[in-house]
Amino acid sequence: MPYVHEFGIVDCIEKNKEYIYYEPEKYDCIIMDGDLIDELSTKEFGKKIDTLKTFAHNTNRPYNNLSYFGITLIPPSSHAHFLNIVREANDDYKSEQLENLIKKIDEAIKENKWMIHFGV
């Protein structure tokens, strides 16, 4: 994998904290091939992921989509939308990595916890 994105679960989101450090092990992140994430950002999936309500680096910076080169915080209120996008993409690509992301989103939903995304 030439470049990757990583997704994890935040046990306790800290309001106003700047999430600026690359700490994938702290959040038990899964690794996604960058090319696969690129596919989610294009074609029909791109329009859907552009409406994903997220935050860039802290809870005071509302954002839409994933911060490609930064850190994205994904609130529980956005998990169902994110899950639908990833499931639909997996219907097309049949990817083990997408399956793992589906499991990670499901886990965040069950635990009602925020997710974190580390871009390239």
Q: In the chain, where does DSSP find H-type helix?
A: 34-40, 43-49, 79-93, 96-111
Q: What percent of the chain has pLDDT over 90?
A: 78
Q: Report d(CA 39, CA 16) in Å as an integer.
A: 32
pTM: 0.94
Class of CATH domain 4-118: alpha beta
Residues 6+ positions from 19 with CB-CB distance below 8 Å: 57, 58, 71, 73, 116
Whether the pLDDT of residue 46 is over 90: the answer is no
Mean per-residue pLDDT, 40-56: 86
- For 72-108, the pLDDT digits (tens) are 999 999 999 999 999 998 998 899 999 999 999 999 9
Residue 84's pLDDT is 95
The residue with tokens 């997704």 is 7
Residue 43's pLDDT is 67
Between 47 and 20, name the one with better pLDDT.
20
Binned at pLDDT 50, 70 and 90, residue 23 comes out as very high
> Which structure tokens are listed for 10?
């935040």
Residue 42's pLDDT is 78
Among residues 30, 55, 35, the alpha carbon closest in space to that of 106 is found at 30
Domain extents for the chain? 4-118
Among residues 100, 99, 49, 92, the alpha carbon closest in space to that of 74 is found at 49
